[in-house]
Structure formats: structure tokens, C-alpha cells
Amino acid sequence: MSDTAASLRHIAVDALTLDQAKREHDALAAAIAHHRALYYQKDAPEISDADYDALERRLNGIEARFPELAREDSPTRTVGAAPAGGFRKVRHAVPMLSLDNAFTAEDVDGFIEQIVRFLNLKSADGLEFVAEPKIDGASLSLRYEDGALVQAATRGDGAEGEDVTANVRTIADIPHRLTGPAPRVLDVRGEVYMTRAEFFALNARQAEAGEKVFANPRNAAAGSLRQLDAKITAKRPLCFFAYTWGELSEPLAETQWDSLQRLRAMGFKVPGQSTLCRSKDELLAYYARIGAERPDLPFDIDGVVYKVNRLDLQERLGFRTRTPRWATAHKFPAEKAQTLLKAITIQVGRTGALTPVAELEPITVGGVVVSRATLHNADEIARKDIRVGDTVVVQRAGDVIPQIVEVVQDRRPADSQPYAFPTVCPCKLATPAHREPGEAVTRCTGELACPYQAVERLRHFTSRNAFDIEGLGIERIQLFYDQDRIKAPADIFRLESREAQRLDKLVNMTGFGKKSVENLFKAIDARRIIAFDRFIFALGIRQVGEATAKLLARAYRTVGHWRERMLAASAERAAKPDETKPELVGEAYAELCAIEQIGMSVADDIVEFFAEPHNLAALDDLLSVLTEVQEFVPPRVTSSPVLGKTVVFTGTLETMGRSEAKAKAEALGAKVAGSVSAKTDYLIVGADAGSKAAKARELGVATLTEQEWLDLIGQGAEA
């Protein structure tokens, strides 16, 4: 995690200023994206489950208090990470989503209360839940047509995964053909895992053969599933549990429980520890029982999952951007151990943030050897008074790099000294590192002159969701940077013209084969035509992730128009830097802020990018070496009476909760706003409506009763 996010962690979310929240939100989003990529793409996590969960909890809290910071590409609205290379990509017909987490009995209370509010129920009486162990493995989607397995895919980023069909056919637990009656189309979801006994046996074989050993059963299962050679997967002892489904041509049953029994009858294994619960007390009793049984289970679990049993209620509850409202994961607490902190090293990120890392005496925690932990920033080190030579308490919940919880003070050496945070960057230039007043982050002031930052920015530019240049990974970027071959993005596209006449020299200097270099040139050339949204994302503008880049591309359509309007918005903002109302800043700036999910916080970062002459020069230089930045063409959308309309709800609704009403409107293509403006198309008025109704009359906005709204969207009869 970056210094910004970590240093502000000790400030309660309620006490954060908007500026602090914005900076921490940006740092947290980047950290979560980084750790998701390590976990889902490389099967090589750097932090513990507990550390990762803490990042997501903090981000959720910030977005709850500052909803204007919640963007479409926020980790709270996305799942997993983009699929890795080497496999054909598979688009999931129904997205594979994640789960919200509960950590305490109060969190479970909150989960149930949210369901009651959303469904507008009087109480939780009568609600049933299916409780099941949360298997710590790799998520998998299995598509069956007419009873036959036709495709298997990893979760990937939730929307697109990797085709691992050939590998999956080697797993004994997965039927090639279903037994008994089944829907014509059935997309079964579940978890590929490895038992602990098989995991230890596999590691013994790997060690004996001088090959890689795995950190834990989850990594072993994921790595085995994603082998490019199915023969290797066939030799790995993989298992599979089914627990849910995606696309269906017909329902399996009326409840989650009965659907699981249908899956069992078709030939799938489902967790035998699953049970039905009818109250919070029964859920918590199940959690305690499974927690006690955990050491004796043959497979690793990191919690339990609760799901609303009735499928009609699941359908009404629906989904948030990345999680269902009808399910949650109740996680187990982290495991702890003590070890020696031998040294503190410094890492430098893309934005120049200096992140301290604890180098630990290797220690086994929960069956995994760990040797490093992030210390976040200077404030975190000072707050916990962490010193080199200390004995520290570390915790882990399933991964490799733990969190340092505290120092064991009575074991501190007598000559111990407080850690002095560096004032210069560890790069060869020894550039001064500076911490702005009121900020927690210490940054290298060298910007692009700092090789660490320059290389990280180039890595982002070539990353999978940006220009996606195959063969130009971090090792080659670092090498080409050190050799002065690539210093800026445009240099990538000049590499072939500069080096083609000296191909043999390039091969000799880099150690790459001639064919490898030729393939790299081809991969670079193939990216001279790039989608507009990928181009925007690749620039690395602060707060502009993939989803925000798509919003900008949709709004401005062409790179020329976008550049022109951003320059205009930048000039307007420079003239009125303290104005808090977009419409008073200027037309172009207000136009930018009016884009869905983009408020003044994001807009300011975008216009600041265009205000920097070297950024504009780099952008124009890049455009000069590309063949085409493709115009954005909006996808075809289905018909809806409220498609593209902006609606606002006010007052108490009778037929459904406010959250359900908003979710239904968004599902029909409407934009749901929190306040009435001249751009509002409909105000839906419930009982006890307040000032919004008066505002709507003043602006001439159409006002609908709840029944009129239901009639408009075709649900009047149901109401």
C-alpha cells in the first residue's frame, strides 16, 4: 500500500477532510488494483488477506462518507483483475462477482438489516439463509450445453476470464456430461482447490525435482489450473466444489438450498458442511462451529458465506456494481506470530511515493513462510515505534506478506534507535524526497528524472488494460530504460526504426533471441491503432482508471475533441482555481464535471494534467507516432422508456425500498441522481416528500407519483 493510504489510516474516516479523503482514496484504489493483479493474475500475493480486507474496508468507509469520490472504476465496483496472457479470453454471459465481507457479529446484523430495509420488510422473521464454508481456492465457471461441458473459464476481472477448458477436463471432480435432467444451458460456478495433504505431497515432489514450491494450497490450485500445458494440470491433484450458477436457460429450483441439491444430483460435489439457518443466532452458531472444525477440514477455508435462500428474494435484491446484496462472507480473524525485523528497505512507486518495507527473519505463520511486510509510511513507523532489531508481532490470513501488528517492547535491544525516514530517494540520482505539510506521503521530487518513477509510468502505459504490448514487461522496460532506448511512451514506437538496422547488436546487448525481438517489434506495431478509452487510461492521469477513461471516451468521442476541450477546461480552471461550482468556472469545465461519475475532484486532476507543458508535449509526441486513436462508438442499447433519463426519488415509497427502486431504475438505463437540477427528467415523489418537490416545480421538472412511475416502467400491474 502507498504511503498516502497508510499514513492517513490512523485518522478516522469521519475526521478526514475532503482533500485527505481524495488523496487516500486514490492511493487505496491503486494499491487494491496492484494486489488484485498479483492475486488473480500471478497467483503471487504480496499481502495477507487481512491486510487486503483492511484496504477494502477503509475504501468503502471513505466512499460512504464522500460519495462524490466513488467512480465507476473504483475497486468497490470492480472485481478481480484482468485475465493474464497465454489463454484465449472468455466473456462471461453473467458477470462473476465478489462478495462483501463481514468481520463481526455487528457486521452480520448490518447485512440482515440491509436486506430488511431494501425489501421493505417489517422484520427479519421468516428469512432463511444457506450457510456454507468459504473455500480458499480459485473461482471457476463451467458452461454446459445439452448436458455436455463445452467451456471452462477463470473469473479474471469478473467480466472476462481465461479459457481453461482443456485443463479442466483433467479434473476428476468435474463431470464432462451431467447426470439426470438439466437445463439446456447451465453455467455452474464454484471453486477449484487442493487438499492440504495433496498440497504438501505436491510441494515435496516439486522440491525433490528442483522445481518451484507453492506458498499455500490456494496458490498451488490457481497455478495448476492456469498451466499452458494441460498435461501438467492433469498431474496436479485438483478438486472442485460447486456453489452457485450464472447463465441458466431455466431455473434449477425455487431456493438456493434446493438448487444445490439439483447440482449434486447432476454430478457435482457441493460443500457437505452447508446448512440452512433461520436467524442471526443460527448463522453465528454455524460460524463458531465451522471455525472450531477448521483445523480438521481437509481443505483451507478463510470464512463462511451466508446467502438468502429464496431465489425470488435474491432476484429482487439484485447486485451492487461488484457484489450481490443477498450474500456476504463472514471472514475468520488473522493468524499471528512473532519474528525479528532485520532491516527496513525503501521502494519507490510511479508517483514517487517512498514506501518502507520490513525485511523479516523468515517465520511460518499458518503454514506459510513469510519474510517481508509493508510498513506503509513514516507516520506508521513512528506511531508503532518500529525499529530495526525489534521483535514484532505479525499476522497473516492466507497469503505471504503479513502485517506488523505491534512491537514486543520487552524484547527490544538496549542500543535500539528510532528509524530515521530517508530524505533522499534511493535512486542513483539521490534526488531529495519531500513531504508536503499536512500530507503523509514522502515523495521523490525528481518526477520523470527519477528512474523509478519513469519506469513505473512506462510499465503502466504498456500494461494489459492500457496499450497491452506483449513482450514488453517490467524487466524489458527497465533494461531499455537503462540503455536509453526508451525514456517516454513515444520512444516505444520509434524503437524498431532506431534498432532495425542494428538488430544483431540489439540481440547481443539485451540477451533476447532474434525471433523474440522481431515479435516485440510486431507487438508494438500492432498497437499503433488503439481504442480511445485505452489511450486515455494509458496516460496515467491521477484518478482516471479504466471505467473513467471509458466515460471520457464516450463523452468526447475523439482524441482531438477531448484534447481541445480539456485545454479549454484547464484554462478556465486556472482562471478560477478557488471556485466551488462547476458552472461558474466555465463551459468546458462544467461539461467535464457533468459527465456521470466525474465530479470536481476527478475533473481537477484531469485539467491539472493538461496544465503541465511536459504532459502535453508527451501526449502530442505520442499522437505523432500512432496510426490512429479510434473514435469511440457507443454500444447498442436495448429499448426502455427511461433509457438515458435522469431520475430522482424523494419521500417514502410504499411498494419497495428506496434502494430497490434506484437499482430498478438503473437496470432500465436511467441515471439516478441525489438532487433535482435542470437536467432532471423525472422526480418520483413518495410520502413525506421534502424540498425536492418544490425545487422540481420551480425548474419545471416532471413529477410522478410512485404508481405513475411503476406504470411508466411497466410494473404498474405488479404494484
User: What per-residue string of b and e applies to 393-405 under the rule 16 or more CB within 10 Å gives b?
Assistant: ebbbbbbbbbbbe
Closest CA to 171 of 205, 212, 137: 137
Enter the C-alpha cell of residue 174.
Answer: 468435474
Residue 156, Ramachandran bin (φ over 0: left; ψ between -120 and 50: alpha; else beta): left
Enter the C-alpha cell of residue 11.
Answer: 485518522
Number of continuous H segments (helices) and E segments (strands) in the chain: 27, 24
Q: Which of 134, 664, 671, 692 is catalytic?
A: 134
Alpha-carbon distance of 80 to 60, in angstroms, equals: 16
Residues 6 or more apart in contact with residue 35 via CB below 8 angstroms: 45, 46, 47, 52, 55
Alpha-carbon distance of 600 to 591, in angstroms, equals: 11
Strands across the sheet containing 185-193: 148-154, 138-145, 185-193, 239-248
The verdict on whether 695 is a catalytic residue reads no
Closest CA to 199 of 218, 222, 217, 173: 217
What's the full length of the chain, in residues? 719
What Rg do the C-alpha atoms of the chain give, in angstroms?
27
Residues 6 or more apart in contact with residue 182 via CB below 8 angstroms: 144, 147, 266
Alpha-carbon distance of 714 to 425, in angstroms, equals: 62
Whether the CA torsion 350, 351, 353, 354 is positive or negative: it is positive
Q: How far is CA 473 from the centre of its chain?
A: 21
Alpha-carbon distance of 611 to 315, in angstroms, equals: 47
Alpha-carbon distance of 717 to 719, in angstroms, equals: 5
Alpha-carbon distance of 186 to 147, in angstroms, equals: 8
Residue 50 has phi, psi (to 5 degrees) of -65, -45
Report which DSSP code applies to 643.
Answer: T
Enter the C-alpha cell of residue 82.
Answer: 484482468
Closest CA to 262 of 326, 316, 154, 186: 186
Q: Is the CB of residue 515 less than 8 Å from the CB of residue 504? A: no
Q: Is the CB of residue 308 less than 8 Å from the CB of residue 127? A: yes
Give the residue numbers marked as catalytic. 134
